[in-house]
Structure 1
Amino acid sequence: MTDGRLPFFVYGTPLPGEPDHDRFLRGRTREERSAVLPGTLLYEGPGHPYADEGHGTVHGTMVTAAPGAYAELLGLLDDLEQYLGPGHPRNLYERVVRSALPVPEARPGAEPPGPGGPGTAPGGSVRAWVYLAAAAVTGSLRTCGTPVPGGDWLSLRPPPAPRTP
């Protein structure tokens, strides 16, 4: 199955304002817009989250690669997520295609939703690559993982310190 150059749904450290955004995405994206991934639960991990199939919704950003940057972005995200190939026993995450829904409000640093693009499906959903927890990780998540309230990784961040005059 070839899914072509689908956008990516990111929900953790590659989000705008998070540590891996500048390192992996800056200058390699054409569009970044807020989106949600239904049918998925978000769990805390050591410094990064894991999404897994479940009865919930994960909040994140839909990322479309800049012209000429798709292959580089795909490789960088595969490396970041420790994805070695479909079903590889050492995968930390599996890269799979899921339908995400763009949302009207943009996160800080993300562009507002635009018209349909690659992977747009009826009803406004967009087929995108997403990195879900690999089989080696899902068992422990389901039995002793800590769900992220509301499925929003950024909700775990402390609010910014007030500026002093």
Structure 2
Amino acid sequence: MELRIGDKVPFFKAKNTNGDDFDSVSIVGKKPIVIYFYPKDNTSVCTAQACSFRDQYEDFTDLGAEVIGISSDSVESHKDFVKQHHLPFILLSDGDKKIRTLFGVPSSLLGLIPGRVTYVIDKEGIVKMIFNSMKGQNHIVKALEAIKKLIP
């Protein structure tokens, strides 16, 4: 089942970059959130996407929003990725692809590559924007525009 605009975001749990348990109940329904699913740490497009979110992270936080990146990479891989590229936002490890499945993120290239989809969620936990494109850097512009529309 694919999430659609207007749906309430399902709650989920995962390990963060430090190996600690992250429970979405700690953030969903409390502030606007950008959740972006990406295929793999340290690949060219994924790195460019993460670095673009890093470079504009303050624009999101100034609007009261949080950014969360999710891939099936391990906690160790995320730890190296964060350290190498100085990423200030939350990365979650979805090794069993339960969160990806919960959101209904489709695969790309005949199912060979995990999809790249960004969700913008308002402070009530409702999906306000979904952007599905393998072009990583386009996600930041779309997400920031959507977050700005949520701020009165």
Q: TM-score, normalised by structure 1?
A: 0.28
Larger radius of gyration: 1
Structure with greater proportional strand content = 1
Structure with greater proportional helix content = 2
Q: TM-score, normalised by structure 2?
A: 0.29
